[in-house]
Amino acid sequence: MRQNALAVALASIVSAFVASSAFAQSDPLGGSAAVSDTSTIIVGSADFPESQLLATIYAKALAAKGVKVEIRANIGSREVYFPALKDGSIDLIPEYGGAVLRYLDKTSTQNSTDDVLAALKTALPKGVESLSASSAQDTNTVVVTQATADQYGLKAIGDLKGHAGDWILGGPPEWKVRPDGVPGFEKNYGVTFKSYKTLDVCGPLVLSALANGQIQVGCGFSTDPALRSNKLVTLADPLNQFPSQNILPLISSEKVTDEIAAALNAVSAALTTDGLLGLNARVNAHDSYDAIAGDWLAEHKLN
């Protein structure tokens, strides 16, 4: 799961978001003069655009049910916002199953959605709980060009076997040694590449190298609009080499009610990876979070 692939859009849209939001805004983890009563749900976000968009969707879904909400956006990394969730500085935050599980339990090895979500319920500290997970995932992916996929009939990572020996894999430095990188391809799928080219974290350098033939296989992020705009094909990962990163809300146990859970679970039921990819494309086009979230909720009749 990435935290900065869309960061290039952040600076240009923060001011528009603050100006257009229908909710009380405050500095991250700071006080708010607009809302002070304990019935308010304080919705936090991490310091990257997708998290801020999801926080806005959650907040607007709650507001549509008459729940008082306040958004504290752009708090920072998980090391900052998770303690804030535990101490009550915020009440709700969008999370990614596999990533938060690894944060809470450094020894965890669960990768499939079912295993990750089951382990997460055990790993969460007292006072914090997870609600329904969506099918939407922002996870690492393996991508090839449409031409390569068509020529060699590639649909899943295992289909690379028999071809990878002549091909170059490209991605971040960590992929050379991480279990979900080169060692994982060999262990899980029996796929060994001719060589590995160190590039960026599944960003412009990988995309450029795929386009010009410097590499034949690269890494991507499942909700990155660049996959669609560059006509790349994501290869399925049936053996769960990459940890699942289903999006879900974490919420303070003290604040959750049946009404709040139902509103948030309805959002999770409607979120999809492909749909989020389209929403992120609007973020890149500098639409405000408030407008994007409002349109999405209206489309799914959640407002």
d(CA 296, CA 294): 5
Mean residue pLDDT of the chain comes to 90
Phi, psi of 94 (to 5 degrees): -70, 140
pTM, two decimal places: 0.86
50 versus 30: the higher-pLDDT residue is: 50
CATH of domain 7-137+244-299: 3.40.190.10
What ranges make up the beta strands (E) of the chain?
24-25, 41-44, 69-72, 92-96, 128-130, 140-145, 168-171, 195-198, 217-221, 232-235, 247-252
In this prediction, residue 25 carries a pLDDT of 53
Per-residue pLDDT averaged across 70-94, rounded?
Answer: 96
Q: How far is CA 262 from the centre of its chain?
A: 22
CB burial string 139-155: b at 16+ within 10 A, e below: bbbbbbbeebbeeeebe
The yes-or-no answer to whether 7-137+244-299 and 140-235 have a common fold is yes
d(CA 218, CA 74): 30
Nearest Cα to 139, choosing from 54, 234, 228, 53? 234
Strand order from edge to edge, sheet including 24-25: 24-25, 69-72, 41-44, 92-96, 247-252, 128-130
In this prediction, residue 176 carries a pLDDT of 93
Percent of the chain with pLDDT over 70: 87
d(CA 5, CA 172): 13
Cα distances (Å, whole numbers) of residue 34 to 24, 27, 42, 92: 6, 12, 12, 18
Q: Which residues pair with 250 in a beta bridge?
A: 93, 130
Q: Residue 218: is its pLDDT beyond 50?
A: yes
Q: Please name the residues in contact with 48: beta carbons below 8 A apart, sequence gap of 6 or more.
A: 2, 3, 4, 5, 6, 7, 10
Per-residue pLDDT averaged across 227-253, rounded?
Answer: 96
- pLDDT (tens digit per residue) in 11-40: 333 333 333 344 555 556 654 333 335 689
- pLDDT (tens digit per residue) in 242-290: 999 999 999 999 999 999 999 999 999 999 999 999 999 999 999 999 9
What confidence tier does 291 reach under pLDDT thresholds 50, 70, 90?
very high
In this prediction, residue 13 carries a pLDDT of 38
Per-domain residue ranges of the chain: 7-137+244-299, 140-235
- β 92-96/140-145 pair status: unpaired
| Tokens coding 170 | 């490209």
Q: Residue 137: is its pLDDT beyond 90?
A: yes
Q: Residue 153: is its pLDDT beyond 70?
A: yes
Q: Which residues pair with 96 in a beta bridge?
A: 247
| In contact, 168 and 141? CB cutoff 8 Å | no
Per-residue pLDDT averaged across 225-229, rounded?
Answer: 94
In this prediction, residue 28 carries a pLDDT of 65
Per-residue pLDDT averaged across 122-127, rounded?
Answer: 97
Per-residue pLDDT averaged across 136-144, rounded?
Answer: 97
Is the CATH number 3.40.190.120 carried by domain 140-235? yes
d(CA 48, CA 28): 13
d(CA 179, CA 185): 9
Q: Residue 113: is its pLDDT beyond 90?
A: yes
- pLDDT (tens digit per residue) in 55-66: 999 999 999 999
In this prediction, residue 33 carries a pLDDT of 36
In this prediction, residue 39 carries a pLDDT of 85
